[in-house]
Amino acid sequence: MALLRFAEDPSPEHFAALPFGPGPVGLGLGASVHRFVPAGELADPSSWILDVEEFNGWAGPFDLLGFLADAEAAGHPVAVTAGPHDHCAAPPWTHRPRRRGSTRSASSRPGSTAAWSGSPSTSTWTTTAGSSWCASTSGRREAFATIRRPRPDPAPVHGLTGAGAGGDRWGMTAIRHDWSVEEAFALLSTPFHDLLHEAQRLHRERFDPHVVEGAILLSIKTGGCPEDCGYCPQSSSWSTGLTPQPLMATGEILAAAERARAAGATRFCMGAAWRGPTDGQLERVAEAIEAVSALGLETCVTLGMLDDAQARRLAEAGLDYYNHNLDTAPELYGEIITTRTYQDRLDTLARVRAAGISLCCGGIVGMGEPREGRAGLLAQLAALDPHPESVPVNLLVQVPGTPLEGTPPLDGIELVRTVAAARIMMPASMVRLSAGRADMSDELQALCFHAGANSIFLGDRLLTTDNAGDDRDRAMFARLDTTVADEPVRRAQELAAGA
């Protein structure tokens, strides 16, 4: 009740009773509007005011303490809960909300967030980082009849309705690396429009929703791969009619990169079908990386597994990104690939990260996996710390002769859900709508972009399969009022942050 007492009478003794730590306290409206105030300055009631003219259609400024005091004076029932909770994101209503009764709420999390919100649930728990206090008012007296105290042993339930350090009901004002498979599954199962709304909101926090990044992918060594990936026509295990091609000369690669730059790409990606390169092969790739980098393009390669020395050599050559997809969830991996393990994948990712190279790491959906499988993949990707800077979401391209030919196609809306969940779980990453676009309608792609995808491969060819093509992309983006970035998006963000 300390927060209510302070709201009614902001005296020094009532302020002293608030359970704030020594650090700054974040005051916010959801995740998009916030400021941090030293804890000591919050003794002044004016410090609790967010001078925002409008938020989600409501007129400001917004006064957290004033709202609580007014609610108490009006005789509304109030409950104070301890611990993270699932209501933190909207200013008070003047009308009945869409669901769960008429509710107004305000919350303050010591060292984290104070916010207004709209979900009336009061199921709560505590975290080892400390307690948080929430005050809610409801037109339904039975909804808020108790006061809950902190529990010494936390039992956090993260995801859509609960928390972590954050100021909105999704618990995602900060980047998380502790997503469980259960949470990811709950996210994928969220009502569709709610899911897309939250994904678009988080997308706009960090990115321009009208801009996508363009990359071009070139197969610099094709076919003859000893791995038995069930989706890949380049495996020597399958008869797909693909003719193996040796590693291209640096001059050929450079000419292709120049064409990519002229086509509007800001990143040039090079793929070689190896289990892992020899040192001699790696040197030739390093030479190509240096030449392409000199054009001003970002560089990315995918070469299979690497050892520590090879990762360091690629870093010395100036490589920006290394692509190494996790493909699917750990428990499904053996059904798709038997010649390597999931841990092999994770080990190479760790070596690349240790060398200072950014990661391009995602997976493939539509390989017959259930929704739980997509949840497992997303949880693995989000557990990487830091998150991959690029997260490609590939829709399986069924190639005749591969074991996955004939797999029932994934429903398009399920693809959109996967993109949205990736955006929410990895909000600062570039999410690439990658393979499979040639078979997607413009409308399906538009939903994926709305769900948070902001990167594509340009051109009419990927490694060995068809891509959408420049003419079709140009027409689609014109319809969507969308442009392809003329400089690398993350580089532009870094420059802006430095300024």
Give the HSE-up count for residue 299: Cα atoms under 13 Å, Cβ half-sphere.
Answer: 26
The reply to whether 229 belongs to the active site is yes
Task: Report whether 452 contacts 391 (CB < 8 A).
Answer: no
Among 109, 169, 284, 300, the active-site one is 300
Q: Which of 134, 269, 361, 448 is catalytic?
A: 269
Residue type, 278: T
The C-alpha atoms of residue 202 and residue 387 are separated, in whole angstroms, by 16
Pick the catalytic residue from 267, 351, 432, 437: 432
- Cβ(425)–Cβ(386) below 8 Å: no
Which is catalytic among the residues 134, 169, 176, 225?
Answer: 225
Q: What one-character DSSP code corresponds to residue 383?
A: H
| Known active-site residue 225 | yes
Coil, strand or helix at 438: helix
3-state DSSP assignment of residue 339: coil
For the question of residue 432 being annotated catalytic, the response is: yes
Provide the token pair at 312.
């360091």
The secondary structure of 247-312 as a DSSP string is: PPPHHHHHHHHHHHHHTT-SEEEEEE--SS--HHHHHHHHHHHHHHHTTT-EEEEE-S---HHHHH
Look at the chain and count its residues.
499
Of 88, 109, 351, 360, which one is the catalytic site residue? 360
Q: Which residue has the tokens 């979900």?
A: 119
Helices 308-316 + 279-293 axis angle, to 10? 20
Helix (H) or strand (E) segment spanning residue 235? none
The string of DSSP letters for 98-153 reads SSSS-EEEEEE-TTSEEEEE---------BTTB--EEEEEESSGGGG-------SS
Two tokens, residue 302: 């995918």
Catalytic residue among 88, 134, 229, 361: 229
* Residue whose tokens read 């107004």: 104
- Paired with 164 in beta bridges are none
361 is known as an active-site residue: no
Active-site residue, 448 included = no
> Choosing from 88, 134, 232, 361, which is the catalytic residue?
232
Q: Which residues does the annotation mark as catalytic?
A: 225, 229, 232, 269, 300, 360, 432
